[in-house]
Amino acid sequence: MGGVPARAAAPPPANPELGPAPSPPAAGMGLLRWLPLLAPLLLLLRPPGVRSAGLIQAFVVPHSHMDVGWVYTVQESMQAYAANVYTSVVEELTRGQQRRFIAVEQEFFRLWWDGVASDQQKRQVRQLLEEGRLEFVLGGQVMHDEAVTHLDDQILQLTEGHGFLYETFGIRPQFSWHVDPFGASATTPTLFALAGFNAHLGSRIDYDLKAAMQEAQGLQFVWRGSRSLSEQQEIFTHVMDQYSYCTPSHIPFSNRSGFYWNGVAVFPKPPPDGVYPNMSEPVTPANINLYAEALVANVKQRAAWFRTPHVLWPWGCDKQFFNASVQFANMDPLLDHINRHTAELGVSVQYATLSDYFHALHALNVTWRVRDHHDFLPYSTEPFQAWTGFYTSRSALKGLARRASALLYAGESMFTRYMWPAPRGHLDPAWALQQLQQLRWAVSEVQHHDAITGTESPKVRDMYVAHLASGMLGTRKLMASIVLDKLRPQEATAASSGAGPTGHFASVYNPLAWTVTTVVTLTVGFPGVCVTDETGHPVPAQIQNSTEIPSAYDLLILTTIPGLSYRHYSIRPAAGAQEGTQEPAATVASTLQFGRRLRRRTSHAGRRLVPVANDCYIVLLDQDTNLMHSIWERQGNRTVRMTQEFLEYHVNGDVKQGPISDNYLFTAGKAAVPAWEAVGMEIVVGELVTEIRQYFYRNMTARDYTYAIRSRLIHVPQDCDGELLCHRIEQEYRAGPLALNREAVLRTSTDINSQQVIYSDNNGYQMQRRPHLPYVNNSISRNYYPMVQSAFMEDGESRLVLLSERAHGISSQGNGQVEVMLHRRLWNNFNWDLGYNLTLNDTSIVHPVLWLLLGPRPLTAALRQRSALALQHRPVVLFGELPGTALKPPGPQQQEAVTLPPNLHLQILSIPGWCYSSNHTEHTQNLRKGHQGEAQADLRRVLLRLHHLYEVDEDPVLSQPVTVNLEAVLQALGSVVAVEERSLTGTWNVSALRRWSWRTESGHRRGDTTSPSRPPGGPIITVHPKEIRTFFIHFQQQ
């Protein structure tokens, strides 16, 4: 996403599409307000200078910011400009030895490489990479968002891009270029360090903070993003100054933008005459001095904000360099002119890659300050421009993206288990890999910072949805094929007399490497049901009226499934209710109806309370209000007052009336108001599950409800390990359709003395403390934070945990309160939003899910991570794809389970299919011999990644390092013959990876103290708190 008028740090990054952007007058006001307090601190923060008043060296880095989506679909962008970027850049780099270019996202490059590039262009690319004049930075499929993406999906999209680059060119990106995500997560430095990067470059942080850091020359630091890993996985970080990644476009001698000589990309296809809008004035002998003065003045302004004489000067912006010829033809003489006058100008300039810049910076051996594990969220560009709306925008897409990711995760391990120790069946492995690769691509694509964020145009959203749906369909077909291969055909038998529904088979796969006890829900068309397992024994099950389909029934089945294993169930109509029938049928739930109750303006102590209980909780419901009243939790023997309701923020859509909300921004002019006048309730009571259904109506006579909560408590039988199952209250919500310019929240109010502090996660990896900050302006919106997977609030006695299956905005607007934004529907008349169709007129109904955990801190700390993964990776039910009448389950003999300790998560088990040698020297030799592209996909290499879930001091037992024998853990897949530890994305052998050390004020260098010793290559490994370890596993061929 490019520079948005009046929506970036002052002055905002210029976007050549829009002309010079105005400097918003309000942008600096917040900083001016704080300067009297900040001044002494800034003097302390400002490190001893290392830059004299001598020569400044400017590194001009040519680049094009190419959004994988946002306003235009990928194919529209390829046709209009993206393919031309690579075609023209490659041509122009070969014409000038001094020229450079950095390429970032791989999706566009791979489409160009596979579908556009000629053999000659491919040879030129290889030569340019060899010479270091073309450099791939970041190297993921996309530039992922940092606020609302999950760590697993960030790793996936990086792995996809890095795998292609290494397989095709033998190169491994060394630096990040994360210039456009809206705020920065503290997961990012850890992730990029694990990927082998030597330095990280970001840009968008809060305008107030960036201004203060510029003043203190504090935009460069060593970031230790993980509290537990600390300097072990630190990374040098460069935050771009207020001009961000775009070249300053204002030049005083011309009314056209400067330095954008190729102008603005034209859609749907390039103009036939090659003349583009807003092309900068060409460099001529008459104006070259003026151009030089403008560039040098900007370099000097920026140099004052950094500690060294090296200035990074990005040359480019959104959709640039589609005509690299005119770009370089104008910049070449300009740089030559400046270098001929270096003595009087005080600046030298050179084309550069990021590698050139960071090598020069590293060689100075400066001592850098250290930043701890805190993030840079939320992000604001002005007091009334808090970029906190996108945490929730397009909730349906956020949910679909995470479901697709979970399905891919399950499909990967299911296919790996099918192939090892030896494939048994008729499945074509090449076809299977193709299905997985299609979903890998789609899930990677939607992590883009204008995709899962919900900040794209409707047609681009439709593109993401179509790619995800197609990939999911292929992967479900693959999974069904694997199960069909497992099920033995049954000899044909005479059909029993009489018509009626026939039975079904359901195969349920647990993708986690722990034994999981849970309840799965199927929809069936008959009310009397008998469920049996592989041995023919009856299974605990419950039948109740469907909440979605009036003529159908929900069948709830209690299942216990070992790690990476299946259960197979036979589901058929019960024989009937004749006297003496012994066939055990699913129990039938009964429903208690409660009439609608009007919203009370005053609070009354609950006098008529209805209890709903399991072995861990008693939920008390107030019959006078039909709202939750309180929850008693057994572990701490404490009753917590708790009520839940839906509220809406009424937001402005008229720019003439004041600040607006849109896809990006949440601007709450006033407090949220209740979105309902009456609530109805029913309680569905069953032996296995009791369900509380609350329906919220706009008024007492409304026929349809706008909001609903469906809460489940599971009654876990004594003979199964249901600790996680018992200790959660599963809630599913319905929200929508909303009225225009409404932002819907679920507010949970308790008597927990939280001091208005909540904790929310960075990308499902680590928690951040979120105190409520007293902003003078826009306080509600600026106190919203992203929740990707979990959040909690607590006092000395209790902690309330929320677990989520999609990202939301979350806030605490009062003591003991937590509110989760569920849905947004907005329209405004801001010309920029209208021009790009970014008004978020989302008329959908959404069904997000939260699981609640309540209890003492030690209990909830131990259960939170595993419960979050149990929600994210619920068992996959294959039901309906299977022609049940012709098959029978394989009996009690199952594949052996794959089981890890409870603090260790199987982050991935897959067959990537890469066809490169693990030996780097051998691989690069093969590439030089021209063997690339000939090799078949390698189905023998297995990728394994393990993630320690706990922080160092989170739990007395689970926070300990854990030692596992991979031979024993993976024995179900065969005999392990080699274990090879790799970098996060698999492209480095860790024994060969030597990341740069950067001198820090603490005196520690990475690895000096706490780096655990690792015996190379053995199957016995020890994983320390928060570590993520990646391996290639090689099994004995059968």
Please identify every residue annotated as catalytic. Answer: 180
Task: Render 827-855 in DSSP notation, one character per residue.
Answer: ----HHHHHHT--------B--EEEEEEE
Contacts (Cβ under 8 Å, ≥6 apart) of 78:
108, 111, 112
Name the residue with tokens 């090449």: 430
Q: What is the DSSP letter of 691?
A: E
Bridge partners (DSSP) of residue 1036 are none
Nearest to 79 by CA among 329, 319, 260: 319
Residue 898: exposure state from Cβ atoms within 10 A (0-12, 13-18, ≥19): buried
Contacts (Cβ under 8 Å, ≥6 apart) of 498:
none
**Angstrom distance (rounded) from CA 224 to CA 369:** 11
Contacts (Cβ under 8 Å, ≥6 apart) of 928:
none
**Angstrom distance (rounded) from CA 146 to CA 202:** 11
Contacts (Cβ under 8 Å, ≥6 apart) of 301:
none
**Residue 356 DSSP SS3:** helix
Q: State the distance between the two ends of the chain, measured CA to CA, in whole angstroms.
A: 51
Write out the two tokens for 255: 């009314």
Write out the two tokens for 969: 């853990």
Write out the two tokens for 499: 């018509």
Residue 776 — left, alpha, or beta (φ > 0 → left; ψ -120 to 50 → alpha)? alpha
**Residue 780 DSSP SS3:** helix
Contacts (Cβ under 8 Å, ≥6 apart) of 464:
69, 397, 401, 442, 445, 446, 451, 456
Angle at 820 between CA 818 and CA 826, to 5 degrees: 140
Helix axes 151-169 and 119-131, enclosed angle (nearest 10): 100
Tell me how far the alpha carbon of residue 678 is from its chain's centroid.
37
Task: Please give the single-letter amino acid code of residue 765.
Answer: Y
Nearest to 326 by CA among 282, 292, 272: 282
**Angstrom distance (rounded) from CA 473 to CA 464:** 14
Nearest to 150 by CA among 465, 475, 443, 513: 443
Angle at 523 between CA 583 and CA 512, to 5 degrees: 95
Write out the two tokens for 516: 């999981």
Query: Which alpha helices (DSSP H) does 597-744 contain, by range?
Result: 723-726
Q: Are strands 220-223 and 370-371 parallel, antiparallel or unpaired?
A: parallel
